[in-house]
Amino acid sequence: MASNENNYVYGVWQPPPRRKLWWLWIVLGVLLLGFGLVLALLPSGDAGANSADRASSPYVGVLYVEGTMSISSPADGMFAGSDGYNHSYLMDSIDEMMEDEHNEGLLLYIDTPGGEVLAADELSHKVAQYKAYTGRPVYAYGHSYAASGGYWLACVADEIFLQRYCLTGSIGVTMGSLVDFSGLLEKHGITVYDLGSGEQKNAGNGLSPTPPETIEIYQGIIDEYYGYFLDWILENRSGFTKAELKTLADGRVYTAKQAVENGLADEVGEYEDALSALMLHCSKDCQVRDFQPLPMESSFFDLFLMQAQKDELSTLLELLPPSGILAYYQYK
């Protein structure tokens, strides 16, 4: 320290001490490490596992139909296709095999409780088109579920194999449940006004009384689509009269053994059994090519945003089946 003639004490100026920002470096390090892990886990290349190389040798295509069947693309929303089902990919893969002269057959690997009627019907008709166009064999293997819309698809196959713990059947159509809260609202003095262009435009909303006419309308839709389901089975599985099939098709599920006994399936066996049986119809040097959709690629920001939006409500929504007319077995 030093002093001047006026006895003012002063010192040499020192820069202020730097704030210790060690915690910031730790946070940045953790973020960089997380980003690296995400990049390592993300799939690279095409959206399908079969697209890496195109061999010129003969092959059997194994089409993996897994998850809840829906025509929505995984890119259409946070939860669409979240359990592995990709309708567009499956339809395109069948088209690809139809036009590929090296393809010698198709094995449907089914692990689904069903889903939207439209998705089940479209995919089933695409497989039927493959059979008619190519004349090649189609086998189906049910893993844990080949129920409802899953059976809608399986019945197109020439032979159906089921893993012994696979549940199948659940032949039927549903729109879920209509809940009428109008009595509860009236009890608490709440009045609801339906605003629509006709009496049935806003029917079944749960807030107004549900008249018998509304139930009739919805039941008529269900009965019509159920009839399509039965006709499709009769068209593709021999050995039933319509009356016999309706007895089996009351919505119940069957074990693999029960399904074979009542004629809904052909064999109880493993995946290898179904594949080996199909290979008997193919050339000796025939290979196996998997057609299995891969998860959609997402950026680090997308994953962070999805996690931030994943609140309790969205978690509950993931447990719900798709909306609309369903051929679906509610197993959860």
Give the angle subtended at the CA of 149 by the CAs of 170 and 84, to the nearest 5°. Answer: 120
3-state DSSP percent of the chain in helix, strand and coil, to 5: 40, 20, 45
Q: Is 223 left (phi over 0), alpha (psi -120 to 50) or beta?
A: alpha
Q: Which residue has the tokens 């003969």?
A: 58
Please give the single-letter amino acid code of residue 93.
S
Q: Which residue has the tokens 């050339």?
A: 283
- 51, 57, 201, 276: the catalytic one is 201
Let me know if 148 is a catalytic residue: yes
Backbone angles phi, psi at 239, to 5 degrees: 100, 5
* Whole-angstrom distance, CA of residue 89 vs CA of residue 73: 9
- 93, 148, 170, 208: the catalytic one is 148
274-279: Cβ within 8 A, 24+ apart: 274/107, 274/139, 274/140, 274/141, 274/159, 274/161, 275/60, 275/62, 275/107, 275/139, 275/141, 277/139, 277/159, 277/161, 278/60, 278/105, 278/107, 278/137, 278/139, 278/159, 279/60, 279/105
Let me know if 284 is a catalytic residue: no
Strand bridging mode 253-255 / 267-268: unpaired
Maximum separation of any 2 CA atoms in the chain, in Å: 120
Q: What count of residues does the chain have?
A: 332
Q: Quick one: tokens of 99?
A: 């036009």
Which residues on adjacent β-strands are paired with residue 273?
none
What is the set of active-site residues?
Answer: 148, 201
